[in-house]
Each structure stands twice: as C-alpha cells, then as structure tokens.
Chain A
Amino acid sequence: MAVGLLMLGGGLVAGVFGSLLGLGGGILIVPLLNLGFGLPLREAVGVSLICVIMTSGASAAVYLERDVANLRLGMLLELFTASGAVLGGAVAFLIDPRYLAALFAILLAYVAWTMLRSAARTSTAPTSMPTGDDGPPGALDPSGPSDAPGSPGEVTAVALAPVAPAAHDHPDGGFVDRLSRPGYHVRRLRLGAAIGVVAGILSALLGIGGGIVKVPMMNLLMDVPLRVATATSNLMVGITASTSAIVYLLRGGIDPFVAGPTAVGVFLGATLGSRTAHRVDLRLLRWLFVAVLLYTAFQMAQRAIAP
C-alpha cells in the first residue's frame, strides 16, 4: 500500500513540476522510478512513455479543438519521429543499460543548463505569471527545456495568444503548401524530417516526449511560430511515444503494477499544475528544479560508471 501511494505521490509531484516548468514527465519519472524505487532503467523508460502519452493525449485534444496545433505538419513529421521510435525501441533492448544511464545523465545536465540560461535571461522579468496570459517560461523558450506534453485537460503555454486563422483550404496549393498557414510558411522539411528521426530515437531510448528536440527544430529551423511548434510537438508526442511503447509493452518492458499508480499520479499532477501555474512564483521553483536535475544527473552518471 505504502509503495503504491508513494508512486502515486511521486507521479503527482513529477506532473506538477513538469506542468509548471513546461517539461514532460519523462525527465522526472525515469530517475524517480530508477533511483527512487530501484526499477531497472529500461522498465522505468517504458513506464515513462506511458505517462508521456497520457499527458500529451489530453492536452493535444485541447490544442486540436482550438486549432492551435498544425495537424498536417504534425502528421507528416510524426511519420519520421515514429520511424525513429521503432528503431530506438528496438535498440533500447540491445544496448547496455549503463549507456542509457549515461545518455540520461547528459540529457539531465543539458536541461539544467538550458533552464539556468533561461533563468538568467528572465531574471529581471516579473516572476509571477499574469493570470491566463502567460505560461511556463520553459515551454515558451524555443531553446529551453520544452518537452512539454504540458497539462492534461488544460493548456498552459501555447494556446494563449490568438492564432492566425487557419487556412485549411488551399485548393490550388500543393501538398507542401498546405502544411503552411497564414502567418508562416513551413521551410526545410527534409531537415525537419531527419531531425525528427533523431527525436524519435531519443524518445524511445530515454522515455521522453522529445519536445526538447522538436520544438526548437520547428521554431528555429522550420520557421513555425513557437506556440504552434509547441502544440504540434505535443500532438506528435502521442504517436512517437506510443510506437516505442508498443515495442516496450510487447517485450515485457512495461510493468502494469508500476505504470498504473505512476501514470495516474502524473496525470493528476499535470492537471493540478496547469490550474495553479498562474499563482506560482516560478523563479524559486526553477532554481530548486535545476538543483534536483544536477543531483539526479550526478546519480545517473554514477550508475553509468558503477551500476
């Protein structure tokens, strides 16, 4: 009973943190299960994928109904992220878990660094978010840690500014033209597709949504506005993570007893986080989180060196 409640509570905290800071649950769930509960790293990744799919599914539904996510672009790119996810899912069962731990330590250190950079940039900005008009800064920073499935049921970051009317109808336009909308023109599709494969591999290996790669890719390389890039990345997370989760599930890499309470906790936490984001001073939270990330990176690195 106690362990189950701890998993639920841990998932809840991870969901709240992830939602408030614009991160997906994966970056928190994997260390929690691996370091905190002693679950093998591969199984922790499998459970994390489930959490990521659930949180992204609920918020993607809102993004779609509000027409913020670019469905056509998302579907085209997820063809490549999903391909990478199949590859990553298969490779994950072949490589030594110590390499996975090392890769995860690098990821944690990178996210801590981007959060520090973002915190330094916004140190003079107001820290309490204006009600309803702003979201987790991490999710709005294209170079920052935006793994962001965000928040089930409520959308905190990207659906905040009005979006240009969608142009679903380009009767004379070609296939590629239909991926663009008034206000932006999608560029460098091939590069986006190639990077999408890498994002899929990382997602499958580390149990993350991959937004940390996809959002900057779409925003900085493909000229997609940030709020659309974040929403579209969130939509893509579902297919990317579920493709690799299928591999994990069929190979016995997902423990249902662990996945149940953890995923429910993450879902509830993300919902709670999205509803309280506007009342929270993110500055202190961010520094605290950076400390947690760096400590966890150290622990993961130790596990990589001496498991």
Chain B
Amino acid sequence: MIGGRPTDAGEHPIETRIGQVLGIGTLIAVILLAVGSLALLAAGRSPLDPAPALDLGRLADDLARVQPAALLWLGLLLVVMTPAARVVAALVGYLGGGERGMAVVAVLILVVIAAGVAAGTIGA
C-alpha cells in the first residue's frame, strides 16, 4: 500500500525524529482514549452525560483512581500537544544543524501556539 521507500534515518535525521515523535504520541493518545472510552462504557455512562471540566490540579489523582474522564482528558491533551512536541523536536534538530532560519520559524510556531493558549485561557 505504501509507495515510496523508507529512507535512511541517518540521511534525514530531523524528519525521522519528528516522524517518530508523531507516531509514538498518536499511538499513546489512541490507547488512552480507547481505554478511557471503554472505562466510560463499562461504568454504564453515556457519552452524552455531562463531562467534568478539565482540572489539571486533580488530573493525577483522578488518573490514579482510573477515572474515565481523567484518562480521556490525558489522551486529549496528548493529542493536542503532540504536534507542538514535533515542532520542539524540529527546533532542536535545526539548532543542532546550524539552520538558524528554520529554527526561528520553529520558535515562531511555538509562539503562535502559545497565543492559542492565551486566547483559550482569556476567553475561558
């Protein structure tokens, strides 16, 4: 199904590293969302029931108690943070390779993401 050919990791180290970050991040997020969904259904709750709001202060405790909502929130946080993690991976790679232009682009993308956090927080 897949055309093209896998490239040598040493040939394109940044692309390979970013691909790994995306692949692993997505896989863990899917697992968390799947386990959280199963836990939700097993508890006899409907997805249309009111869900608790995200509370980062309580997330660790709720995860320790295997609360479905906590598993789902962690999965969702991982989903939205994985693309940002790949920008950080790219930034590190470009800085290491001396590509200042692309490093600046990566920093600016992170600034825009931070603006998204600000826009969400201010409006919340």
Contact = CB atoms under 8 A, between A and B. Distances in A.
A and B: real partners? yes
Interface of A: 1, 3-5, 7-8, 37-38, 50, 53-54, 57-58, 60-69, 71-72, 75-76, 78-79, 82-83, 85-86, 89-90, 93, 132-133, 152, 154-156, 159-163, 166, 168, 175, 178, 238-239, 241-252, 254-261, 263-264, 267, 274-275, 277-278
Nearest to B21: A61
Contacts of B76: 50, 249, 254, 256, 259
Contacts of A62: 2, 19, 23
Contacts of B46: 1, 3-4, 257
Contacts of B23: 57-58, 61-62
Interface string B98-120: 01011001101100110111011
Interface residues of B, number: 70
B51 interface: yes
The 7 closest A-B pairs by CB, nearest first: A250-B120, A160-B3, A238-B83, A61-B23, A64-B19, A256-B72, A57-B26
Interface in B36-63: 36-37, 40-41, 44-49, 51, 53-54
Interface centre among B33, B44, B121 (most CB of A within 10 A): B33
B82 A57 contact: yes
Say whether chain B's binding surface is mostly helix, strand, loop, or mixed: helix
28 contacts: A1-B41, A3-B48, A57-B23, A60-B22, A64-B19, A64-B22, A68-B4, A72-B102, A82-B109, A82-B113, A86-B119, A133-B3, A155-B1, A156-B1, A159-B4, A160-B3, A162-B4, A163-B4, A246-B117, A247-B123, A248-B120, A249-B76, A257-B46, A257-B72, A260-B33, A260-B47, A261-B40, A278-B1
Contacts of B124: 250-252
A8 B36 CA distance: 13
A139 B54 CA distance: 36
Contacts of B19: 60-65
A275 B20 CA distance: 21
B79 A75 contact: no
A64 B87 CA distance: 13
B116 A82 contact: yes
Interface string B55-95: 00000000000001100110111011111101100100000
Contact of A249 (B12, B54, B82, B90): B54
Given A8-B37, A257-B72, 20 more contacts: A1-B41, A64-B16, A79-B108, A79-B112, A83-B112, A85-B116, A133-B3, A154-B2, A156-B1, A238-B22, A239-B113, A246-B116, A247-B119, A249-B54, A252-B53, A254-B76, A256-B36, A264-B30, A274-B1, A277-B1
Contacts of A264: 30, 33-34, 37
B49 A93 contact: no
A65 B76 CA distance: 25
A180 B106 CA distance: 18
B11 to A, nearest CB: 8
Nearest to A57: B26
Given A4-B46, A175-B101, A65 B3 contact: no
